[in-house]
Structure 1
Amino acid sequence: MTDIESHPRLISLEGGEGAGKTTVLNALRETLLQAGHEVVSTREPGGTPLAERIRQLLLSPDGEKPSPETELLLMFAARAQHVRETIRPALARGAWVVCDRFTDSSYAYQGGGRGLDVAFIAELERRVVGLQPGLTLLLDLGVSQGRARASGRDAQPDRIERERDDFFERVREAYLARAAAEPKRFRVIDASREAATVVADVTGVLREWMAAA
């Protein structure tokens, strides 16, 4: 597989820690359901039983720390399984898929954050994924504000969430660079605002997208 297909019914949510992706994903799902569509809401890493097991390996703060290269390859192993077993079958039967993170997260976290070769990530994307969202919503938020929000959660931070601020600054820069390079696919949403305002923005973008799809 060498070509990358852009699918209009695959929508991804991207952003750093504390950006509010869960709230936005739920709002997108409800908007699509109200329009009469079947919706599959999913996440990465994860989305299948095997990919969820890989997620545990990747994000657990316990045990051996994976090298950046190992982290990247495990992310793509989970993504390959996710695309084959969950995303493509859903798209084939006419469903919409809303995914909390997709391949852009590897460019941001393993490329920007870890400093891995972007050309290698692109090669993996072509060869083992071959699929790209038609629409990507980037919830953009300053690192300090995002970390403050994330620290208020009940859950313990996972291994990646425990990284230093400079790591997340590089992640944010990589996300914004990708959005600037692909303005037709990306919509950058200011996630520093109240949740209701952010939700109104993203559901408005979705309605416009559905009308044009």
Structure 2
Amino acid sequence: MKGGFFITFEGIDGSGKTTQSRLLATLLRDYGQDVLHTREPGGSEGAEDIRRLLVEGDPNRWSPETEILLFTAARRDHLERTIRPALEADQVVICDRFADSTRVYQGAARAELRTTVDRLHDLMIAKEPDLTFIIDMDPEIALGRGLARHSGEDRFEDMGLGFQEKLREGFLGLAKQFPDRCHVIDGNQSPASVSGEIQTVVEQWLS
């Protein structure tokens, strides 16, 4: 694999995307790749500060409009300080969430603000992944997983099952909108089976 390659993982809360992004990073490192594994919101010092504002506290802490601004600010810092330098250094960047999450969470599930999300993205980010995996699974099971972690970062899980169902619908719609880079993986399987499917897609995509 050539460096300067950008892979993202997306999905509803508790879908297993964080685990799968780490597994892929480990696999590619074993193959001799120079890999940076990062996350959103976060991935840089400033973005991690903003992360705490977004994922902790009362579900009604921010309006969808304010969330869009906070996510965009965090993503801009992440892009400037972490993602872009890594890509320019020919690293493979694997990111747990990126702009697609904002398109779905704030642009569709919380409010109909997709146009606002896209405008801000074009102005301030203007970067898309080369390859995106959407881990799809039963929202009720995923929500149970997310709440069972007791991580303290459960603001979006606290919005309830109906919100998670809207998120799933939004991610599946996004996969149809961007079929060239988005691959939907059944997250209801064992982690090993999910990882195997992802590895197959990566190998096919590169060949």
TM-score, normalized by the shorter chain, greater than 0.5: yes
Q: Which amino acid aligns with 1:190?
A: D
Q: TM-score, normalised by structure 2?
A: 0.93
The DSSP-based 3-state class of the residue aligned with 2:62 is coil
Distance 2:138 2:4 in 1: 29
The offset of 1:157, in angstroms, is: 4.8
Q: Give the unaligned 5+ runs of structure 1.
A: 1-6
Say which is worse superposed, 15-24 or 56-65, in terms of deviation. 56-65
Counterpart Cα distance in 1 of 2:76 and 2:54: 15
Shift of 1:26: 1.4
Instruction: Determine what percentage of the aligned residue pairs are the same residue.
Output: 38
In 1, Cα distance between the equivalents of 2:10 and 2:97? 5
Q: Which amino acid aligns with 1:38?
A: D
Task: In structure 1, give the amino acid aligned to 2:19.
Answer: T
How many Å apart are 1:137 and its aligned residue? 0.1
Unaligned runs of 5+ in 2: none
Distance (whole Å) between structure 1 residues aligned to residue 25 and residue 118 of structure 2: 29
Q: CA deviation at 1:65?
A: 0.8
Task: Give the Å deviation of 1:63.
Answer: 10
Q: Is the 8 A contact 2:12 2:136 kept in 1?
A: yes
- Higher mean C-alpha deviation, range 20-29 or range 127-136: 20-29
Match of 2:184 in 1: 188
CA contact (8 A) 2:102 2:117 kept: yes
Q: CA RMSD in A?
A: 1.7
Q: Report the residue type matching 1:77 in the other structure.
A: A
Return 77-86 or 161-170, whichever deviates more. Answer: 161-170
Normalised by the size of structure 1, how large is the TM-score? Answer: 0.91
Q: Pick from 23, 31, 48: which aligns with 2:44?
A: 48
Give the partner amino acid of 2:78. Answer: H
Q: SS where residue 139 of structure 1 aligns?
A: strand
1:58-112 deviations in whole A, cap 9, x for unaligned?
Answer: 1111698111111111000000110111000000010000000000000111012
Among 146, 152, 155, which residue is 2:151 paired with? 155
SS of match in other structure, 2:159? coil
Q: How many angstroms apart in 2 are the aligned matches of 1:63 and 1:144?
A: 18
Match of residue 85 from structure 2: 89
Paired residues of 1:68 and 1:116 also in contact (CA < 8 A): no
Question: Which residue of 2 is the match for residue 140 of structure 1?
Answer: 136
Q: What is the aligned length?
A: 205
Aligned to 2:20: 24
- C-alpha displacement at 1:37, in angstroms? 1.3
Report the Cα offset of residue 208 of structure 1: 2.4
Write out aligned runs for 1:30-41 (5 A): 30-41=26-37
